[in-house]
Amino acid sequence: MRALICGVSGQDGGYLAKLLLGKGYEVWGTSRDAQASEFRNLTMLGIAGRLTLCSMAPNDFRSVLSVVSRCKPDEVYFLAGQSSVGLSFEQPVETLESITIGTLNVLEAVRFVSQSIRIYHASSSECFGDVGKSAANEVTAFAPRSPYAVAKASAHYMIANYREAYGLYACSGILFNHESPLRPARFVTRKVVDAAVRIARGSTEKLALGRLDISRDWGWAPEYVDAMWRMLQQKTPRDYVIATGVTTSLQEFVDVVFSHAGLAWRDHVIDDPMLYRPSDIFYSQADPSSALKDLGWQASVTMPALAGLLVQAAK
């Protein structure tokens, strides 16, 4: 089996590459400039040199078609594109192009090269918007509240359209928040963990955060890439919500992280309204029961254990 991972240098791309290599796959991976990229995550995971790496610009159809034609994969995992909700408010065009046009280009390339290729698309819980206290599942309506979520929702519907119109094996994993030590420093989980570890070592800094009352379903990223693979092994393509099913507030996450570092978070964290987003999701809750029923997948790491793993890795 040969897999093409678009966006292999990211958190999910690295863990997925490691998983597939362990299953005996030949793995190809893309980034915008493979010659200039350092692929630090692949090095951290001990798999650097075991993949075929190539350059691909997701919003350039010729570039995408060229890579798919050369690779001739059995499976394509589209994980590329601008991945920060906060940054999408500052770079809406880049976000929409890299995610929406990127997904369309992959679908078209597969349609031209071989319709037997199976496609996994990384959708997002951000598409649901604010669901209140309701747990979102595969039939919950989308109500995106950021340029990132709008782009992901558009790509999600495009996957469904090509599945219906052309019979492609194409599906979306609606992943809720999933974290690991490979997360970039701009993500709030990494920001909290790194600051707590620095303060525990003697730093006198204050950690400035935006809203602490937002609530999310946080999981462990290495488990989530297994769900991606399982989705492409089913007889019939279908979209799935992938999450732990447990929701906690950012304040709870901060509390647990600082506790693991031996600190009281209230002594070191300040509220900064300048970090508030123009619009945000206050409460996010998931119903991942379909993934358990159909895929046999269930998260085993929930927030408290996740926080411990992140702090341990940062020390």
Residues identified as active-site:
124, 126, 148
Measured distance CA(153)–CA(168) in Å, rounded: 19
For residues 76 and 166, give the distance between their C-alpha atoms in angstroms, rounded to a whole number: 17
Nearest CA to 269 out of 287, 291, 253, 290 is that of 253
Task: Walk across the sheet containing 240-242 and list its strands.
Answer: 52-55, 26-31, 2-6, 75-78, 118-124, 169-175, 240-242
* Ramachandran assignment for 144, one of left (phi > 0), alpha (psi -120 to 50 degrees), beta (any other): beta
H or E segment and range at residue 209: strand 207-209
End-to-end CA gap in the chain: 38
